Amino acid sequence: MFRLNLKIALRNLWKNRGITAINVGGLAIALAAFILIAMYFSYETSFDKQNPNYNNIYVVGRIYPEFKTNYTSPPFAKAIKQNFPEVENAGITKKGFFELTIKNGKQTLFAKNFMQADYNAAKILDLKPTGGLEKPAGEADRLSYLSKESMQVLFPDKIDNKPEMVGMGASSLGINSKINGTIINNPHSNVTFDGISIGNEIGQGEDYGMNNYTTYIQVKPGTDVENLEQKITNLYRSELLKGETDQESIDEIKKISTFLDPLSNLHLKPKAGNDTPYKILIALSILGILILIIACINFTNLSIAQATKRAKEVGVKKVMGAFRFQLTTQFLVEILVQCFTATILALILAELILPKFNNLFQVNLSIWQIDNDLLWQLPLILLSITLIAGLYPALVLSGFKPALVLKGNFSTSKQSTWLRNGLLVFQFSIAVIFIIGLFIINSQLKYMRSQDLGFTANQVVYIKNLTLFNKPAKFEPVRDKILKIPGVRLATVATDVPNGAENGSNGYTVNGLQANIDFVDVDFDYFETLHIKLKDGRFFSPSFKTDTANAAVINESAVAKFGLKNPVGQTIRGCNMDYKIVGVAKDFKAQGFESAIQPTIYAIKNPCGNYKTQIMLKIEGNKMADALIALRAKWPEINPKDGEDFRYEFLDELYGKLFKKQEQLQSVFFAAALLTIFIAILGLFAFAKYITNGRIKEIAVRKILGASDIQIFKLINSSFFRMVLLANVISWPVAYILTKMWLETFAYRIDLSVLPFIASAAITILLTLFTVSIQAKKAVKANPVDALKYE
């Protein structure tokens, strides 16, 4: 019986090979997209899961009235461990501020992130040096390790794990250091590094004002995290209040609280950070599911449309004694064969597309990995789509009544017709949402690229540097030498460059009003190099001796924050010193478009500031190449600490990386829109063919009675036109809500216009009319005699 059913299935699929090809092809394309997205989802949601304490590790962060931050001070971790028995361990890490140069003879490594960690943090994060994690012998001792990739750069022929001596910084400095071995740097972790220095303690001597560290705690299983969070807040406040007598400061401290952020949150949706990657991942997942649903709708629709061709087969089998369960099983097996074929094709397509997908999302996914979740996901997906796409058609086919179908007057029920039309409307509704989304994403990206940033990144070169230039007198000779290079117009140094990174923050007071605002420590010509516009007053100038002592420039947002009417000349107090405001800079988008411009103070002197290491040069465009060549040649003389290690990046390229995630979303929406339209048009083409063939005699009669070709075209297109129009009307409110939610993730965004909605309607209606008209043309041009000669 099975062999007979299999033969019937194969013959039927071959007889209707056009419809079969559309079914299998559309499903294969959708499945390939779904497989890639499922792999990416699994990858993005499994960061750090290899850590045995994954569910019990938290980052301790601070909450101020204006912002949240993951950065804390060194003594806090020890205080938490000492006061709360439910905390098993607590440790701290610190990211490197420099791109550290490490040398072995002619081999040079530029370590972009040479991290520090105490021994407790290394245990919590499950850091694994080759040979095991060792505890440093003394309190001041450090054990330094390089990642396997970094070690291979310096020692390409190394096969053992013995310690090695390396040079640090420029060769002329003669600074050597010991590398104790290699350490596993898991790229599938939130804690990544080129190298790491592990000590018993780090940050000794630093107090609660030095918030440059990340605190990790490991709690006991079953700990009430919300209760612990409140207790840590009380502890932090009590630590800050020790020795504090100023009532205003006491009131401010009471407003500060802490939070615990699970390790599982850090990659996609940190409490103190940007959750755009999480939102994009959810959007991608929904896209993948919707594309698969559209393909399943095609499958269901075309299977129901083909039902009349199988009616007599079902009738004969029922008369011969076949049960409905047997017929349902037979048709499900037929559909399983098609779905299985589609799955094989999908795997081939996914493998072909995977290199471009990896390049787009900067990942290294592979289908053929032993630990790939697809090994158990694919059988479930195959079974699911077989049931989703095939169960209803199988029940419809197996439910035919023999007495009706063998008389030849069978027709599918009104319920089936309504279902077919409803599924087609749903299919096009999804396609319309994707088209509208694509238009709006393109508009927002175009807006971001064309909008005035408030500063000019073009022709600005950011030079990576190891020297600390906190005092203007130290940078002045370096600036003088740089400016002698032909083409270099301006040179400056600061703690931060406008590349989207967060600035430092501190508490400042003006006219009795205290607030936490960002600070950036700068040097002369900072604003001029970046072409930041002046709103009021003046910028820093060597002509004013007090500028290096107590002058400050604030931005427009800071003026608004403190409610200042005439800010120039007023005093702003912070870090135990009084600053005189000499100018107001116009706001500029240093953090990109997703974050609002932060109130910021710029000063040359800041006792609580960070290191000034970020050198920026303004170079004439037509002399850029020659200037960079000259700078490289003369850099050992200009900046001996870096010596021969001259490295630079263009500021506009650094800033452009802020658009990366949105550009990824744009690419995915473009592919999704094309896929959904293609699959929907495939289904529409086959469905129109079926409907037109079913009305061939009606068309012949109408032509004999005098109907024109235009009237026939209008007759066939009218029902499809109404369905697609209905799909647009249904999808517009959904698309409006979804795109509005996405746009609200940007502090600076476009206004929603009606144009994308009208364009989506025009595109889908034109494609529908074109597709249906291709089929209608065959019916219109056919000879009526051929259709009616048997009547």
Give me the helices (H) in 487-569, please. Answer: 526-529, 556-562
Measured between alpha carbons, how far is 578 from 435 in angstroms, rounded to an integer?
56
- In DSSP notation, 24-75 reads HHHHHHHHHHHHHHHHHHHHHTTTTTTSTTGGGEEEEEEE-SS-EESEE-HH
CA angle 783, 787, 791 (to 5 degrees): 135
Q: Quick check: 412 pLDDT over 60? A: no
Q: Could you tell me the pLDDT band of residue 315, with boundaries at 50, 70 and 90?
A: low
Condensed to tens digits (0 to 9), the pLDDT of residues 31-69 reads 888 888 888 888 889 899 989 999 999 999 999 887 788
DSSP assignment, residue 80?
H
Q: Nearest-CA neighbor of 686 among 423, 411, 348?
A: 423
Is residue 133 exposed (0-12), middle (13-18) or buried (19+ Cβ within 10 Å)?
A: middle
pLDDT tens-digit readout, 205-262: 888 877 889 999 999 999 999 999 999 999 999 988 887 777 777 888 888 999 999 9
Whether 407 has a pLDDT exceeding 60, the answer reads: no
Residue 788's pLDDT band, with cuts at 50, 70 and 90, is low
Q: What's the rounded Cα separation, in Å, for the pair 686 and 295?
A: 13
Q: Where are the beta strands (DSSP E) in 531-609?
A: 534-537, 551-555, 571-574, 577-585, 600-603
The more confidently predicted of residues 662 and 16 is 662
Contact call for residues 80 and 160 (beta carbons, < 8 A): no
Cβ 490 vs Cβ 529: under 8 Å: yes
The confidence band for 2, taking pLDDT boundaries of 50, 70 and 90, is: low
Which of residues 98 and 782 earns the better pLDDT score? 98
Tokens at residue 711, please? 């009237």
What is the gyration radius of the CA atoms in the chain, in angstroms?
34
Distances (CA, A) of 565 to 39, 509, 570, 571, 579: 55, 15, 10, 13, 17
Tokens of 262: 């699970």
Instruction: For residues 136-160, give the mean pLDDT.
Output: 86
pTM of the predicted model, to two decimals? 0.79
DSSP-derived 3-state class of residue 493? strand
The better pLDDT of the pair 611, 642 is held by: 611
The mean pLDDT of 751-770, rounded to a whole number, is 90
Ranking 179-188, 354-363, 386-395, 614-623 by mean pLDDT, the lowest is: 386-395
What is the rounded distance in angstroms from the CA atom of residue 744 to the CA atom of residue 359? 28
pLDDT at 539: 96
- What is the average pLDDT value for the chain, to the nearest integer? 84
- How large is the average pLDDT for residues 431-446? 89
On the question of pLDDT at 403 being above 60, the answer is no
Q: Which residue has the higher pLDDT, 410 or 31?
A: 31
Across 194-198, 501-505, 775-779, the highest mean pLDDT is recorded for 194-198
All structural domains of the chain with their residue ranges: 1-45+277-412, 54-265, 466-641
204-224 burial, b at 16+ Cβ within 10 Å, e below that, comes to eeeeeeebbbbbbbbbeeebe
Percent of the residues in the chain that have a pLDDT greater than 90, as a whole number: 33
Q: What is the pLDDT of residue 334?
A: 77
**What's phi and psi for 731, nearest 5 deg?**
-80, -25
